[in-house]
Amino acid sequence: MKLIMAVVQDKDSNRLSDALVEKDYRATKLASTGGFLKAGNTTFLIGVENESVEEVLTIIKDNCKSREQLVAPISPMGGNADSYVPYPVEVQVGGATVFILPVEQFEKF
């Protein structure tokens, strides 16, 4: 068994969870925040049998779009001056950042 952890943009999260439910995959959605943009994103935890990993990756690929995002300069006031970016920068975000981890044991009580 594997645990697929997928960080996706909030805009894609409903479509992705609908697509997973439609194919009968179970998933947990966690509200998360990107370390760089400090903007909300969604992390999916999807536990699947090994033979289903490829199908789930295809569902993620088909439902998560890559987008350009302009990052406005944010005042370092009250924040960390080390991460202050003084000019707007454009970054390419997503479609999805995916980690696949082995599951040692799975129990449901």
Residues that bind ligand 2BA (CB under 6 A): 7, 34-37, 39, 41, 91-94, 97
Helix (H) or strand (E) holding 31: strand 28-33
Closest CB 22 distance from ligand 2BA, rounded Å: 24
To ligand 2BA, the closest distance from the beta carbon of 92 in angstroms equals 5
Under DSSP, the state recorded for 1 is -
Q: How far apart are CA 2 and CA 5, in angstroms?
A: 10
Nearest distance in Å: CB 109, ligand 2BA = 30
In the complex with ligand 2BA, the residue whose CB is nearer, 23 or 61, is: 61
Looking at the Cβ atoms of 35 and 102, the one nearer to ligand 2BA is 35
